[in-house]
Amino acid sequence: VAALKSLFVEFEFNSLGKRIFGDDFKAGRGHAPVATPPVKSESSPSSNPVENSSPEIPAPVANLKTIKDVSHEYKIADTEEKRRHLAALLEAQPAFCFDTETVGLEPREAELVGVSFSWKPHTGWYVPVAKNADDALAPFKSVFANPKIEKVAHNLKFDVGVLLAHGIEVASPVFDTMLAHYLVEPDRKHGMDALSEQFLGYTPIPFSTLIKDEGELFERTMRDVPVEEVAEYSGEDADVTWQLREKLAPMLRERGQEQVFYDIEMPLVRVLVDMEAEGIAIDTRALAEFSIELQKTMTTLETQIHEMAGGPFNLNSPKQLGEILFEKLNLDSEAKKTKTGQYQTNEQVLETLAPKHEIVRKMLDYREATKLKSTYVDALPLAVSKRTGRVHTHFSQTGAATGRLASNDPNLQNIPIRTQLGQEIRKAFIPRGPDFLLLSADYSQIELRVMAEVSGDPGMREAFADGLDIHTATASRVYGTALENVTAEMRRTAKMVNFGIIYGISAFGLSQRLGIPRKDAAMIIDEYFKQYPGVKKYMDDTIATCRAKGYVETMTGRRRYFRDINSQNGTIRAGAERMAINTPIQGTAADMIKIAMSKIAAAIRDAKLKSRLLLQVHDELVFDMYRTEEKEMRALVEDGMKNAIPMAVPIVVELGTGENWLAAH
């Protein structure tokens, strides 16, 4: 019974659970955790590699409690006297949790409805804020600014952004339960409701029940909800988050994640708040003109494709395209089909077919133009804030398990740079005014340099130390030829191998990418490992360590767990091995740029410069640079990026300035 209940909770089989266990069964909205691979103790080695585990993750819980089942006390501070009393109580605490309630999810523009506080389980306070009445929060300004009190929140960046927009600074130290859980279980969901169910066995009040009143045709906003209901909802949020902090803080310590949490992730929160508030200017007129040109290009391509196909068909229909390519033109007699019986026509399939027929190449061009037009050229002008006239992306610290930042609403990290069409979009990103230029700072081949550092391979380190082009140097070694005799084709192959090795590429994968027989690809990889034996040793050691410990680490100590590393299924195990090899490389590069961002932002602030950090796009930072500050900015940006993590391998940062993003890159 217990095992079946646990399974139903894990997969959220509520209906089945009720049929078997009764109507009181409830699995909840969150996920049930699957135990991560435990850690072998260094101090007491065991013959069993999965003994002496890291802090245990709670087991799935059925029949979760709700606010009706738990005694609690949430007070409302709705007078000046009560607010001053609450502020005095907060000043006396070493730490407290807070949560903002707003109308809207854009922190700079959202209307603030209230703020809740908690510093003891099952208790809390709610401070309602009338419309345009920020003075209600005046007693709390000194509390939030107090550097001796830790401020706790879930998704801290949002709450800090909201308060900052209302004139309240939230000073360090801070603690974000969402980011704490992200470091403890990077591959899991990090929402407060899910964590509450996982760690506390408790389901918080659903937001939907608050804004949907029975009998009402339209949803209410948080401003329309009675204060008593908001106080119950918001007080519970602060209370639950406080309890989560008490669960997660020890886990950070026990899993060795305190340094990553306090030295990398927490300082970055305020940097991202400021970047999101800054936004970036775009040339909407240029995008409008480019949209017209793209439409003309798409129309021309459509005509050409129809002519090659021998008649019209819907280019956006995978079914019709598959029939043209594989039945009419017979480009692949062994073409794969989907579960529904259609031919596969995804980008990878088309890339493989591209050398066989011009219609495929034209189709790839058409898809690129269509995607750029809909995703960026037509969408970016709609994302311009009416208040600031700039585009404000949102950066997520929990978007990737490797530690990389993600950008969304709009996503500015996927604008292609290698194609001419993608470059036209970058042209539309411009400085804030005539006194500014855009400054782009880009790590050069950072993941390969990290690989050279962590593997210690002498050949790879020597190439970087001598300032050689690593792909040319690799081609020279693999093909046994002098540097000056390396051809463009040799370099292309070497580049594919260099980057492929980081991602655990196989001979089959390399043969697919290069369009060569698998035997030839295997020979190239074998020769690569002969020339760079340290890389092969790093890969083997990493997999062995992961199998024993259940996790891998970046140079800073950020961990990622792989419970499939010892899977009996070869395909699943191979996938885990590839990710285990890549994570320390990509994760270290991600940590480097995060550290650099915090250092550079602090340097700009300390020097009282007018220049501002605007964007982070993988290995690149983009700044609005005040023209007269160019010398100072170049120096502090290069220093911040080069020295983020001390390495023996030289780190190279490429800097450029221009009247638009493309010109600066």
Across the chain, which has 665 residues, the per-10-residue mean pLDDT values are 79 82 65 39 36 53 82 95 97 97 90 96 96 88 97 97 95 97 92 92 87 62 91 96 97 96 97 96 94 95 94 92 90 83 87 89 93 92 93 94 92 84 90 97 95 95 94 92 92 90 84 85 92 94 96 96 93 93 95 98 97 96 98 97 96 97 92
For residue 443, give the amino acid letter.
Y
Note the pLDDT of residue 126: 97
Residues 6+ apart with CB under 8 A from 425: 287, 290, 372, 376, 377, 380, 415
**Could you report the per-residue pLDDT of 385-417, keeping only the tens digit for each?**
999 999 999 999 998 889 999 999 999 988 877
Note the pLDDT of residue 9: 75
CB atoms within 10 A of CB 25: 20
Two tokens at 82?
A: 């009560």
d(CA 416, CA 409): 17
**Phi-psi sector, 122: left (phi>0), alpha (psi -120 to 50), beta:** left
CB atoms within 10 A of CB 408: 12
3-state secondary structure 173-231: CEEEHHHHHHHHCCCCCCCHHHHHHHHHCECCCCHHHHHCCCCCCCCCCHHHCCHHHHH
d(CA 391, CA 237): 31
Q: Is the peptide bond before 147 cis (omega within 30 degrees of 0)?
A: no
Residues 6+ apart with CB under 8 A from 447: 499, 502, 585, 586, 589
d(CA 307, CA 660): 39
Q: How far is CA 596 from CA 331, 599, 632, 664, in A?
A: 49, 5, 16, 19
**Could you report the per-residue pLDDT of 432-455, keeping only the tens digit for each?**
999 999 999 999 999 999 999 999
Q: Are strands 551-553 and 111-118 parallel, antiparallel or unpaired?
A: unpaired
Render the burial of 387-403: b for 16+ CB within 10 Å, e for the rest: eeebbbbbbbbbbebbb
Torsion of CA 44, 46, 48, 49, to 10 degrees: 60
Three-class secondary structure of residue 393 per DSSP: coil
Write down the pTM of the prediction: 0.87
Note the pLDDT of residue 249: 97
* Residue ranges of E strands in 542-581: 551-553, 559-561
For residue 442, give the amino acid letter.
D
- Eight-class DSSP state of 50: T
